[in-house]
Amino acid sequence: MLIKSSGTGFIHPVSSEITSRPIYEDRRQLLRLMAGGAAGAALASWAARDALAQVQRPGKLAALTGGKSGVAGAVTMEKSTDYKDASTYNNFYEFGTDKSDPAKNAHTLKTTPWAVEIEGLVKKPGKYALEDLLKLSAQEERIYRLRCVEGWSMVIPWVGYSLSELIKRVEPLGNARYVEFVSQADPKTMPFVGSNVLDWPYVEGLRMDEAMNPLTLLAFGMYGEVLPNQNGAPVRLVVPWKYGFKSAKSLVKIRFTEKEPATAWNKAARQEYGFYSNVNPNVDHPRWSQATERRIGEDGLFAKKRKTLMFNGYEAQVAQLYTGMDLKKNF
Ligand SMILES: Nc1nc2c(c(=O)[nH]1)N[C@H]1C(S)=C(S)[C@@H](COP(=O)(O)O)O[C@H]1N2
Ligand SMILES: [Mo]
190 Cβ inside 6 Å of ligand 1: no
Cα distance between residue 45 and residue 297, in whole Å: 14
Q: What one-character DSSP code corresponds to residue 193?
A: B
Cα distance between residue 183 and residue 217, in whole Å: 16
Q: Collect all residues with Cβ–Cβ distance below 8 Å to 55 and sequence separation of at least 6.
A: none
CA-nearest residue for atom 11, ligand 1, is 245
90 Cβ inside 6 Å of ligand 1: yes
Expressed in angstroms and rounded, the spacing between residue 126 Cα and the centre of ligand 2 is 30
CA-nearest residue for atom 24, ligand 1, is 248
CA-nearest residue for atom 8, ligand 1, is 92
In 3D, which of 158, 157, 167 has the Cα closest to residue 213?
Answer: 167
CB 313, CB 185: distance < 8 Å? no
In 3D, which of 279, 307, 318 has the Cα closest to residue 72?
Answer: 318
247 Cβ inside 6 Å of ligand 1: yes
pLDDT at res. 59: 55
63-72 burial code (b ≥16 CB/10 A, e <16): ebebeebeee
202 Cβ inside 6 Å of ligand 1: yes
pLDDT at res. 5: 38
Expressed in angstroms and rounded, the spacing between residue 111 Cα and the centre of ligand 1 is 17
Domain boundaries, the chain: 15-322
What pTM value is reported for the model? Answer: 0.85
- How many CA atoms within 13 Å lie on the side-chain side of 235? 28
Cα distance between residue 203 and residue 215, in whole Å: 20
List the pLDDT tens digit at each of the 331 positions of the chain. Answer: 654 333 332 232 223 323 333 333 343 343 343 443 443 444 445 555 555 544 444 556 788 888 999 999 999 999 999 999 999 999 999 999 999 999 999 999 999 999 999 999 999 999 999 999 999 999 999 999 999 999 999 999 999 999 999 999 999 999 999 999 999 999 999 999 999 999 999 999 999 999 999 999 999 999 999 999 999 999 999 999 999 999 999 999 999 999 999 999 999 999 999 999 999 999 999 999 999 999 998 766 666 899 999 999 999 999 999 999 999 999 9
Expressed in angstroms and rounded, the spacing between residue 244 Cα and the centre of ligand 1 is 6
pLDDT at res. 247: 98
Please name the residue ranges forming H helices in 171-284: 208-212, 264-268
CATH 3.40.1550.10: does it fit domain 15-322? no
244 Cβ inside 6 Å of ligand 1: yes
146 Cβ inside 6 Å of ligand 1: yes
Cα distance between residue 48 and residue 277, in whole Å: 29
CA angle 147, 153, 155 (to 5 degrees): 100
CB 320, CB 311: distance < 8 Å? no
pLDDT at res. 180: 98
CB 184, CB 252: distance < 8 Å? yes
Give the DSSP per-residue string, 130-160: HHHHHHSS--EEEEEEEE-TTSEEEEEEEEE
Helix (H, G, I), strand (E, B) or coil at 244: helix
